[in-house]
Amino acid sequence: MSQPDRLWINVTLFDGLATAAEPMAVAVTNGLIERVCPMSELLVGEPAAGEVIDAEGRVLTPGLVDCHTHLVFGGSRAGEFEARLEGKSYEEIARAGGGILSTVRATRDASEEELYQAALPGLEALMSEGVTTVEIKSGYGLTVEDELKMLRVARRLGRERPVRVITTLLGAHALPPEYKDDADGYIDLVCNRMIPAAAAEGLADAVDVFCEGIGFSVAQCQRVYVAARAYGLAIKGHTEQLSNLGGSAAAARAGALSVDHIEYLDEAGVIALAEAGTVATLLPGAFYMLRETRVPPIELLRRHGVPMALATDANPGTSPIFSLKLMLSMACTLFRLTPLEALSGVTAHGARALGLHQQIGRIAPGLRADLCLWNTSNPAELAYSVGLPTLNQRMVAGEPA
Ligand code: NIG
Ligand code: FE
Protein backbone atom coordinates (compact mmCIF):
# COMPACT_ATOMS: atom_id res chain seq x y z
CA MET A 1 0.00 0.00 0.00
CA SER A 2 1.39 3.43 -0.88
CA GLN A 3 1.63 6.06 1.81
CA PRO A 4 -1.69 7.85 2.50
CA ASP A 5 -1.75 11.65 2.67
CA ARG A 6 -3.47 11.63 6.07
CA LEU A 7 -4.27 9.00 8.63
CA TRP A 8 -6.67 9.48 11.55
CA ILE A 9 -6.11 7.05 14.39
CA ASN A 10 -8.08 6.28 17.57
CA VAL A 11 -11.30 7.55 16.08
CA THR A 12 -14.85 6.93 17.37
CA LEU A 13 -16.38 6.43 13.95
CA PHE A 14 -19.93 7.35 12.97
CA ASP A 15 -19.85 6.32 9.33
CA GLY A 16 -23.15 7.95 8.33
CA LEU A 17 -25.33 5.02 9.36
CA ALA A 18 -23.84 3.50 12.52
CA THR A 19 -21.19 3.89 15.20
CA ALA A 20 -18.27 1.47 15.09
CA ALA A 21 -17.88 -0.76 18.15
CA GLU A 22 -14.11 -0.28 18.47
CA PRO A 23 -11.52 2.46 17.88
CA MET A 24 -10.97 2.96 14.16
CA ALA A 25 -8.42 4.34 11.68
CA VAL A 26 -9.27 6.26 8.51
CA ALA A 27 -6.76 6.89 5.70
CA VAL A 28 -7.19 9.54 3.02
CA THR A 29 -5.34 9.87 -0.29
CA ASN A 30 -5.90 12.35 -3.11
CA GLY A 31 -9.01 13.73 -1.44
CA LEU A 32 -10.69 10.33 -1.21
CA ILE A 33 -11.20 7.95 1.69
CA GLU A 34 -8.82 5.09 0.99
CA ARG A 35 -9.22 2.79 3.94
CA VAL A 36 -11.38 2.41 7.06
CA CYS A 37 -10.32 -0.25 9.58
CA PRO A 38 -10.22 -1.09 13.29
CA MET A 39 -7.08 0.11 15.07
CA SER A 40 -6.30 -3.53 15.84
CA GLU A 41 -5.83 -4.17 12.09
CA LEU A 42 -3.26 -1.42 11.56
CA LEU A 43 0.01 -3.28 11.13
CA VAL A 44 3.15 -2.25 12.98
CA GLY A 45 5.55 -0.77 10.45
CA GLU A 46 2.86 -0.05 7.87
CA PRO A 47 3.88 2.87 5.68
CA ALA A 48 3.42 6.03 7.70
CA ALA A 49 1.14 8.78 6.41
CA GLY A 50 2.06 12.28 5.31
CA GLU A 51 0.24 13.38 8.43
CA VAL A 52 -0.99 11.24 11.33
CA ILE A 53 -3.78 12.71 13.47
CA ASP A 54 -4.46 11.08 16.83
CA ALA A 55 -8.17 11.72 17.47
CA GLU A 56 -7.83 10.42 21.05
CA GLY A 57 -11.29 8.86 20.88
CA ARG A 58 -13.06 11.87 19.36
CA VAL A 59 -16.01 11.31 17.03
CA LEU A 60 -15.33 11.43 13.28
CA THR A 61 -18.38 11.82 11.03
CA PRO A 62 -18.91 12.50 7.35
CA GLY A 63 -19.02 16.23 6.57
CA LEU A 64 -22.57 17.39 7.22
CA VAL A 65 -25.04 17.76 4.35
CA ASP A 66 -27.76 20.42 4.51
CA CYS A 67 -29.96 19.11 1.70
CA HIS A 68 -32.69 21.81 1.73
CA THR A 69 -32.06 25.57 2.03
CA HIS A 70 -33.21 28.85 0.54
CA LEU A 71 -30.01 30.68 1.53
CA VAL A 72 -30.15 33.26 -1.27
CA PHE A 73 -32.85 35.91 -0.73
CA GLY A 74 -33.39 39.63 -0.34
CA GLY A 75 -34.87 41.45 2.66
CA SER A 76 -36.18 40.20 5.97
CA ARG A 77 -39.56 38.97 7.23
CA ALA A 78 -39.24 40.00 10.88
CA GLY A 79 -42.44 42.04 10.48
CA GLU A 80 -44.33 38.94 9.34
CA PHE A 81 -42.93 37.08 12.34
CA GLU A 82 -44.49 39.75 14.58
CA ALA A 83 -47.80 39.53 12.68
CA ARG A 84 -47.87 35.77 13.16
CA LEU A 85 -47.26 36.19 16.87
CA GLU A 86 -50.30 38.45 16.93
CA GLY A 87 -52.38 35.65 15.47
CA LYS A 88 -52.18 35.87 11.64
CA SER A 89 -51.47 32.52 9.97
CA TYR A 90 -48.75 31.85 7.37
CA GLU A 91 -51.47 31.10 4.80
CA GLU A 92 -53.42 34.31 5.55
CA ILE A 93 -50.28 36.40 5.13
CA ALA A 94 -49.46 34.63 1.86
CA ARG A 95 -52.98 35.09 0.46
CA ALA A 96 -52.76 38.82 1.26
CA GLY A 97 -49.64 39.16 -0.93
CA GLY A 98 -47.08 38.89 1.87
CA GLY A 99 -45.01 35.84 2.78
CA ILE A 100 -43.01 34.42 -0.12
CA LEU A 101 -44.14 37.31 -2.39
CA SER A 102 -42.68 39.92 -0.05
CA THR A 103 -39.30 38.18 -0.33
CA VAL A 104 -39.82 38.04 -4.11
CA ARG A 105 -40.11 41.83 -4.25
CA ALA A 106 -36.92 42.30 -2.20
CA THR A 107 -35.04 39.67 -4.22
CA ARG A 108 -36.02 41.17 -7.58
CA ASP A 109 -34.78 44.56 -6.32
CA ALA A 110 -31.40 43.19 -5.26
CA SER A 111 -28.34 42.91 -7.50
CA GLU A 112 -26.39 39.69 -7.83
CA GLU A 113 -23.62 41.18 -5.70
CA GLU A 114 -26.08 42.24 -2.98
CA LEU A 115 -27.64 38.78 -2.88
CA TYR A 116 -24.20 37.20 -2.70
CA GLN A 117 -23.09 39.40 0.22
CA ALA A 118 -26.39 38.82 2.03
CA ALA A 119 -26.10 35.03 1.67
CA LEU A 120 -22.51 34.70 2.91
CA PRO A 121 -23.13 34.98 6.70
CA GLY A 122 -25.76 32.23 6.59
CA LEU A 123 -23.51 29.98 4.52
CA GLU A 124 -20.55 30.61 6.82
CA ALA A 125 -22.68 29.89 9.89
CA LEU A 126 -23.58 26.49 8.42
CA MET A 127 -19.96 25.77 7.50
CA SER A 128 -18.75 26.71 11.00
CA GLU A 129 -20.89 23.86 12.34
CA GLY A 130 -19.50 21.26 9.95
CA VAL A 131 -21.58 21.58 6.77
CA THR A 132 -19.52 20.58 3.72
CA THR A 133 -22.38 20.23 1.20
CA VAL A 134 -25.39 22.51 0.96
CA GLU A 135 -28.31 22.62 -1.43
CA ILE A 136 -29.57 26.12 -2.32
CA LYS A 137 -32.89 26.78 -4.05
CA SER A 138 -34.05 29.69 -6.15
CA GLY A 139 -37.76 30.53 -5.90
CA TYR A 140 -37.80 34.21 -4.90
CA GLY A 141 -37.32 35.57 -8.43
CA LEU A 142 -40.25 34.02 -10.32
CA THR A 143 -39.15 35.49 -13.66
CA VAL A 144 -36.67 33.72 -15.94
CA GLU A 145 -34.00 36.37 -15.32
CA ASP A 146 -34.52 36.66 -11.56
CA GLU A 147 -34.51 32.88 -11.05
CA LEU A 148 -31.27 32.58 -13.05
CA LYS A 149 -29.83 35.48 -11.02
CA MET A 150 -30.45 33.56 -7.79
CA LEU A 151 -28.93 30.37 -9.19
CA ARG A 152 -25.83 32.26 -10.35
CA VAL A 153 -25.37 33.58 -6.83
CA ALA A 154 -25.68 30.05 -5.45
CA ARG A 155 -23.08 28.73 -7.92
CA ARG A 156 -20.74 31.60 -7.01
CA LEU A 157 -21.04 30.76 -3.30
CA GLY A 158 -19.82 27.25 -4.10
CA ARG A 159 -16.90 28.54 -6.17
CA GLU A 160 -15.71 31.05 -3.59
CA ARG A 161 -16.08 29.05 -0.38
CA PRO A 162 -14.83 25.55 0.50
CA VAL A 163 -18.25 23.94 0.38
CA ARG A 164 -20.06 21.95 -2.28
CA VAL A 165 -23.21 23.77 -3.44
CA ILE A 166 -26.03 21.91 -5.19
CA THR A 167 -28.50 24.22 -6.91
CA THR A 168 -32.23 23.70 -7.31
CA LEU A 169 -34.59 25.70 -9.52
CA LEU A 170 -37.77 26.40 -7.53
CA GLY A 171 -39.64 28.43 -10.12
CA ALA A 172 -42.93 26.85 -9.03
CA HIS A 173 -42.70 28.30 -5.51
CA ALA A 174 -45.49 30.90 -5.61
CA LEU A 175 -47.65 32.56 -8.23
CA PRO A 176 -46.11 35.94 -9.14
CA PRO A 177 -48.46 38.95 -9.38
CA GLU A 178 -48.00 39.16 -13.19
CA TYR A 179 -49.76 35.77 -13.49
CA LYS A 180 -52.53 36.37 -10.95
CA ASP A 181 -55.46 34.09 -11.93
CA ASP A 182 -53.31 32.29 -14.52
CA ALA A 183 -51.39 29.63 -12.62
CA ASP A 184 -51.33 27.35 -15.68
CA GLY A 185 -49.84 30.16 -17.73
CA TYR A 186 -47.13 30.58 -15.12
CA ILE A 187 -46.44 26.83 -15.14
CA ASP A 188 -46.05 27.14 -18.95
CA LEU A 189 -43.34 29.74 -18.30
CA VAL A 190 -41.59 27.48 -15.77
CA CYS A 191 -41.70 24.46 -18.12
CA ASN A 192 -41.06 26.15 -21.46
CA ARG A 193 -38.63 28.92 -20.52
CA MET A 194 -37.18 28.68 -17.00
CA ILE A 195 -36.20 25.02 -16.98
CA PRO A 196 -34.68 25.11 -20.49
CA ALA A 197 -32.75 28.32 -19.68
CA ALA A 198 -31.41 27.00 -16.35
CA ALA A 199 -30.42 23.73 -18.04
CA ALA A 200 -28.74 25.49 -20.98
CA GLU A 201 -26.56 27.55 -18.62
CA GLY A 202 -25.83 24.57 -16.34
CA LEU A 203 -27.25 26.51 -13.41
CA ALA A 204 -29.55 23.90 -11.89
CA ASP A 205 -28.89 20.39 -10.61
CA ALA A 206 -32.52 19.80 -9.67
CA VAL A 207 -36.02 21.25 -9.93
CA ASP A 208 -38.39 21.70 -6.98
CA VAL A 209 -42.05 22.74 -6.52
CA PHE A 210 -44.36 23.93 -3.72
CA CYS A 211 -47.35 21.60 -3.94
CA GLU A 212 -49.96 23.20 -1.69
CA GLY A 213 -53.20 25.19 -1.63
CA ILE A 214 -51.13 28.39 -1.53
CA GLY A 215 -48.65 26.91 -4.03
CA PHE A 216 -49.43 24.68 -7.03
CA SER A 217 -51.74 21.72 -7.65
CA VAL A 218 -50.54 18.15 -8.03
CA ALA A 219 -51.30 18.30 -11.77
CA GLN A 220 -49.30 21.50 -12.20
CA CYS A 221 -46.37 20.01 -10.26
CA GLN A 222 -46.49 16.92 -12.45
CA ARG A 223 -46.06 19.11 -15.52
CA VAL A 224 -42.96 20.64 -13.94
CA TYR A 225 -41.56 17.18 -13.20
CA VAL A 226 -42.02 16.07 -16.81
CA ALA A 227 -40.24 19.18 -18.10
CA ALA A 228 -37.38 18.78 -15.59
CA ARG A 229 -36.88 15.13 -16.49
CA ALA A 230 -36.80 16.01 -20.19
CA TYR A 231 -33.73 18.14 -19.43
CA GLY A 232 -32.11 15.45 -17.29
CA LEU A 233 -32.64 17.34 -14.04
CA ALA A 234 -33.43 15.65 -10.73
CA ILE A 235 -36.73 16.49 -9.04
CA LYS A 236 -37.84 17.25 -5.48
CA GLY A 237 -41.00 18.57 -3.84
CA HIS A 238 -42.22 20.71 -0.95
CA THR A 239 -45.19 18.49 -0.20
CA GLU A 240 -47.78 17.84 2.50
CA GLN A 241 -46.51 20.81 4.54
CA LEU A 242 -49.88 22.38 5.38
CA SER A 243 -52.37 19.82 4.02
CA ASN A 244 -52.54 16.40 2.37
CA LEU A 245 -52.91 16.82 -1.42
CA GLY A 246 -51.12 13.62 -2.44
CA GLY A 247 -48.18 15.60 -3.75
CA SER A 248 -45.57 13.35 -2.14
CA ALA A 249 -46.88 10.20 -3.82
CA ALA A 250 -47.07 12.01 -7.16
CA ALA A 251 -43.48 13.23 -6.76
CA ALA A 252 -42.28 9.76 -5.78
CA ARG A 253 -43.98 8.20 -8.83
CA ALA A 254 -42.26 10.78 -11.01
CA GLY A 255 -38.91 9.66 -9.57
CA ALA A 256 -38.27 12.41 -6.99
CA LEU A 257 -35.05 12.22 -4.98
CA SER A 258 -36.88 13.56 -1.94
CA VAL A 259 -40.12 15.01 -0.65
CA ASP A 260 -39.73 17.62 2.04
CA HIS A 261 -41.76 18.82 5.08
CA ILE A 262 -44.42 16.01 4.93
CA GLU A 263 -46.18 16.76 8.23
CA TYR A 264 -49.52 15.78 6.60
CA LEU A 265 -48.25 12.66 4.76
CA ASP A 266 -50.46 9.57 5.18
CA GLU A 267 -49.61 5.86 5.00
CA ALA A 268 -50.45 5.56 1.29
CA GLY A 269 -47.96 8.36 0.68
CA VAL A 270 -45.32 6.67 2.84
CA ILE A 271 -45.77 3.43 0.87
CA ALA A 272 -45.34 5.36 -2.39
CA LEU A 273 -42.03 6.75 -1.07
CA ALA A 274 -40.86 3.29 -0.03
CA GLU A 275 -41.72 1.82 -3.45
CA ALA A 276 -39.90 4.59 -5.32
CA GLY A 277 -36.86 4.84 -3.04
CA THR A 278 -37.65 8.51 -2.39
CA VAL A 279 -36.12 10.14 0.71
CA ALA A 280 -38.36 11.85 3.29
CA THR A 281 -36.74 15.14 4.32
CA LEU A 282 -37.73 16.48 7.73
CA LEU A 283 -37.60 20.24 8.36
CA PRO A 284 -38.16 20.81 12.08
CA GLY A 285 -37.14 24.48 11.84
CA ALA A 286 -40.24 25.30 9.77
CA PHE A 287 -42.39 23.12 12.05
CA TYR A 288 -41.09 25.11 15.02
CA MET A 289 -41.41 28.58 13.48
CA LEU A 290 -44.97 27.95 12.24
CA ARG A 291 -45.87 26.45 15.63
CA GLU A 292 -47.15 23.43 13.71
CA THR A 293 -48.62 20.70 15.87
CA ARG A 294 -48.88 17.88 13.36
CA VAL A 295 -45.70 15.79 13.51
CA PRO A 296 -44.46 13.99 10.34
CA PRO A 297 -45.36 10.26 10.35
CA ILE A 298 -42.01 9.11 11.75
CA GLU A 299 -43.19 5.69 12.90
CA LEU A 300 -44.71 4.89 9.47
CA LEU A 301 -41.53 6.04 7.73
CA ARG A 302 -39.50 3.74 9.99
CA ARG A 303 -41.87 0.83 9.49
CA HIS A 304 -41.72 1.12 5.69
CA GLY A 305 -37.96 1.67 5.65
CA VAL A 306 -38.04 5.16 4.12
CA PRO A 307 -34.72 6.98 4.69
CA MET A 308 -35.19 10.23 6.63
CA ALA A 309 -33.02 13.24 5.80
CA LEU A 310 -32.89 16.33 7.99
CA ALA A 311 -32.23 19.91 6.87
CA THR A 312 -32.46 23.54 8.00
CA ASP A 313 -34.83 24.83 5.26
CA ALA A 314 -32.98 28.11 6.01
CA ASN A 315 -35.25 30.81 4.56
CA PRO A 316 -36.59 34.23 5.60
CA GLY A 317 -40.17 33.10 6.22
CA THR A 318 -40.65 29.69 7.80
CA SER A 319 -37.15 28.91 9.04
CA PRO A 320 -34.76 31.85 9.56
CA ILE A 321 -32.42 29.37 11.23
CA PHE A 322 -28.87 28.82 10.06
CA SER A 323 -27.86 25.94 12.31
CA LEU A 324 -27.95 22.32 11.20
CA LYS A 325 -26.81 21.31 14.70
CA LEU A 326 -29.97 22.85 16.14
CA MET A 327 -31.94 20.68 13.69
CA LEU A 328 -30.33 17.58 15.21
CA SER A 329 -31.67 18.61 18.59
CA MET A 330 -35.10 19.63 17.24
CA ALA A 331 -35.50 16.38 15.27
CA CYS A 332 -35.00 14.47 18.51
CA THR A 333 -37.05 16.67 20.85
CA LEU A 334 -39.89 17.59 18.46
CA PHE A 335 -40.07 14.51 16.19
CA ARG A 336 -38.62 11.87 18.57
CA LEU A 337 -35.85 10.73 16.24
CA THR A 338 -32.95 9.00 17.94
CA PRO A 339 -29.70 10.98 17.89
CA LEU A 340 -28.23 8.47 15.44
CA GLU A 341 -31.26 8.72 13.12
CA ALA A 342 -30.85 12.48 13.20
CA LEU A 343 -27.14 12.19 12.42
CA SER A 344 -27.87 9.86 9.49
CA GLY A 345 -30.33 12.51 8.31
CA VAL A 346 -27.54 15.07 7.93
CA THR A 347 -25.01 12.62 6.47
CA ALA A 348 -25.93 9.42 4.59
CA HIS A 349 -29.59 10.22 3.99
CA GLY A 350 -28.97 13.93 3.34
CA ALA A 351 -26.56 12.85 0.60
CA ARG A 352 -29.16 10.47 -0.81
CA ALA A 353 -31.72 13.28 -0.88
CA LEU A 354 -29.35 15.03 -3.30
CA GLY A 355 -28.54 11.91 -5.33
CA LEU A 356 -24.92 12.10 -4.08
CA HIS A 357 -24.82 8.97 -1.92
CA GLN A 358 -22.12 7.39 -4.07
CA GLN A 359 -19.83 10.37 -3.48
CA ILE A 360 -20.47 11.79 0.00
CA GLY A 361 -22.37 11.22 3.25
CA ARG A 362 -20.57 8.05 4.40
CA ILE A 363 -17.11 7.23 5.64
CA ALA A 364 -16.26 4.38 3.32
CA PRO A 365 -13.45 3.63 0.85
CA GLY A 366 -13.81 5.46 -2.46
CA LEU A 367 -16.00 8.28 -1.15
CA ARG A 368 -14.88 11.90 -1.00
CA ALA A 369 -12.98 12.74 2.20
CA ASP A 370 -15.39 15.38 3.52
CA LEU A 371 -15.06 14.77 7.26
CA CYS A 372 -15.77 16.38 10.63
CA LEU A 373 -13.88 15.70 13.84
CA TRP A 374 -15.84 16.64 16.98
CA ASN A 375 -14.79 17.48 20.56
CA THR A 376 -16.69 14.57 22.04
CA SER A 377 -16.38 10.80 22.17
CA ASN A 378 -20.16 10.22 22.04
CA PRO A 379 -22.05 10.80 18.75
CA ALA A 380 -25.29 11.44 20.69
CA GLU A 381 -23.68 14.60 22.15
CA LEU A 382 -24.00 16.20 18.70
CA ALA A 383 -27.81 16.13 18.95
CA TYR A 384 -27.96 16.68 22.69
CA SER A 385 -26.19 19.97 23.37
CA VAL A 386 -26.97 23.27 21.66
CA GLY A 387 -24.65 26.25 21.38
CA LEU A 388 -21.35 24.68 22.35
CA PRO A 389 -18.61 25.02 19.72
CA THR A 390 -18.03 21.30 19.37
CA LEU A 391 -16.42 21.14 15.92
CA ASN A 392 -12.71 20.34 16.15
CA GLN A 393 -11.80 20.04 12.48
CA ARG A 394 -13.66 20.29 9.19
CA MET A 395 -12.10 18.60 6.17
CA VAL A 396 -13.15 19.11 2.56
CA ALA A 397 -11.74 16.61 0.07
CA GLY A 398 -9.16 15.60 2.64
CA GLU A 399 -7.91 19.13 3.40
CA PRO A 400 -8.62 21.24 6.50
CA ALA A 401 -11.12 23.93 5.47
O1 NIG B 1 -39.75 25.48 2.74
N2 NIG B 1 -43.03 26.01 1.77
C3 NIG B 1 -42.59 26.77 0.98
N4 NIG B 1 -41.36 27.26 0.93
C5 NIG B 1 -40.51 27.54 2.04
C6 NIG B 1 -40.89 28.81 2.71
C7 NIG B 1 -40.59 29.97 1.92
C8 NIG B 1 -40.94 31.25 2.57
O9 NIG B 1 -41.90 31.35 3.38
O10 NIG B 1 -40.24 32.20 2.20
C11 NIG B 1 -40.45 26.40 3.02
O12 NIG B 1 -41.11 26.42 4.09
FE1 FE C 1 -38.16 24.96 1.74
The string of pLDDT tens digits covering residues 118-165 is 999 999 999 999 999 999 999 999 999 999 999 999 999 999 999 999
Overall average pLDDT of the 43-52 stretch: 78
- Residues placed in the known binding site for Zn(2+): 68, 70, 238, 313
The percentage of the chain sitting over the pLDDT mark of 70, rounded to a whole number, equals 99
Is 316 a pocket residue for ligand 1 (Cβ < 6 Å)?
Answer: yes
pLDDT at 237 over 70: yes
Overall average pLDDT of the 167-177 stretch: 98
Is ipTM strictly over 0.95? yes
Nearest CA to ligand 1 atom 8: 317
Report CA(313)–ligand 2 centroid distance (Å).
5
The pLDDT score that the predictor gives to residue 1 is: 55
Nearest CA to ligand 1 atom 1: 313
pLDDT at 181 over 70: yes
The pLDDT score that the predictor gives to residue 322 is: 98
Looking at 3.40.50.300, 3.30.310.50, 3.20.20.80, 3.20.20.140, the CATH number of the domain 64-354 comes to: 3.20.20.140
Is 286 a pocket residue for ligand 1 (Cβ < 6 Å)?
Answer: yes
pLDDT at 45 over 70: no
Report CA(287)–ligand 2 centroid distance (Å).
11
Nearest CA to ligand 1 atom 12: 318
> In which band, very low, low, confident or very high, does the pLDDT at 47 lie, cut at 50, 70 and 90?
low
Q: Which ligand is nearest to the CA of 73?
A: 1
Is 350 a pocket residue for ligand 1 (Cβ < 6 Å)?
Answer: no
- Residues placed in the known binding site for Fe(3+): 68, 70, 238, 313
Overall average pLDDT of the 166-185 stretch: 97
Going from N- to C-terminal start, the domains of the chain cover 6-62+362-400, 64-354
- Residues placed in the known binding site for 4-imidazolone-5-propanoate: 77, 140, 173, 241, 318
Is 241 a pocket residue for ligand 1 (Cβ < 6 Å)?
Answer: yes
pLDDT at 278 over 60: yes
Q: Under CATH, domain 6-62+362-400 is a member of which superfamily?
A: Urease, subunit C, domain 1 (2.30.40.10)
d(CA 257, CA 342): 19
